[in-house]
Amino acid sequence: MSTPLIKIIEVGPRDGLQNEKNIWTVEERIQLINLLTPCGFEEIEVGSFVSPIWVPQMANTALVFQSIIKSDHCRYSTLVPNQKGTELALTHNVRNISIFTAASEAFNKKNINCTIEESFERFKPIMVEAKQKNMRVRGYVSCAIECPYSGPILPEKVAEVAEQLWQLGCAEISLGDTIGKGTPETTRAMINTVKTRVPVDNLAIHCHDTYGRAIDNIEAAIENGVFIVDSAITGLGGCPYGGDNAKGNVATELVLAFLNRKNLYHTLNADAIKTARQFVLNR
């Protein structure tokens, strides 16, 4: 397998902690991110500016963002669902935001209370503002393989939504196997369809490890040209609207072991990851 540098996006402080029943304090969230900073990630998702009624775990993201010690070698981003979230991000000097929609109508309704089309109506003013203010925008497509409510999703549908995000001006599109139902075969089929509509260099793979197949699915994505991989320290969390099967992002330490096993280039620091992992396990 010959590939360029594999870039890792650490989503634990957001996609991990948003699903924790035992809510982490602001201080704990700051400590975790400060331990993740020396790990060599391309980006750390710090939290989200979403409704604290919908996702109380992500309340006070502004305070977390302001308090962490940032490195020039890493991007620090937050998730935003709408213009209100974008305004909050701007007020607190966040330069990198992520917008999110799904390839499933049923999932979108549960997750952001709107249809796919309505989600794009929300995104248009966000993208105008982001362009004016020189913000980088990542786009997420959930249910890129299967939806917990409506079953398997056609790769063409994922490609259509991903292309719309791309045309809106997203710098990168992350394809989410939200409930971990993917196999190497379905992951390959999905990636190969999406990359006919969005350059593969701008695609990321976001796997949940519900059935223990995340690493095999990541391998399939990398073999098909993807080199941006999302992961979460210790495999924290899932999605609160993904149903019971959404728990467990792929663990960062498993991704690191895989990259080393395959002799793939990366910038991760094993000692720093070990320290951050221990912090989560000791909590």
Distance (Å, whole) CA 13 – CA 33 = 7
Name which of residues 199 to 258 contact ligand HMG (CB under 6 A): 206, 239-241
* Nearest distance from C-beta of residue 69 to Mg ion, angstroms: 26
Q: Return the closest-CA partner of residue 95 out of 43, 59, 162.
A: 43
Site string for ligand HMG, 170-209 (x = CB under 6 A): ------x-x---------------------------x---
Name which of residues 181 to 220 contact Mg ion (CB under 5 A): none
Name which of residues 100 to 129 contact ligand HMG (CB under 6 A): 100, 111-113
Name beta bridge partners: 8.
Answer: 229
Size of the site for ligand HMG (CB under 6 A): 25
15 lies in the binding site for Mg ion (CB under 5 A)? yes
Q: Residue 112 binds which entry of Mg ion, ligand HMG, none, with Cβ cut-offs from 5 to 8 Å by kind?
A: ligand HMG
Beta strands in the chain (DSSP E): 7-10, 43-48, 75-79, 96-102, 136-142, 146-147, 151-152, 172-177, 203-207, 228-231
* DSSP 8-state assignment for residue 208: B
146 lies in the binding site for Mg ion (CB under 5 A)? no
Show the CA angle centred on residue 15, arms to residues 250 and 260, nearest 5°.
Answer: 30
Could you tell me which stretch among 7-15, 53-61, 161-169, 262-270 binds Mg ion (CB under 5 A)?
A: 7-15
Q: What is the dihedral of CA 225, 229, 235, 239, to 10 degrees?
A: -100
Question: Which positions touch ligand HMG (CB under 6 A)?
Answer: 15, 18, 48-51, 54-55, 79, 81-82, 84-85, 100, 111-113, 140, 142, 176, 178, 206, 239-241
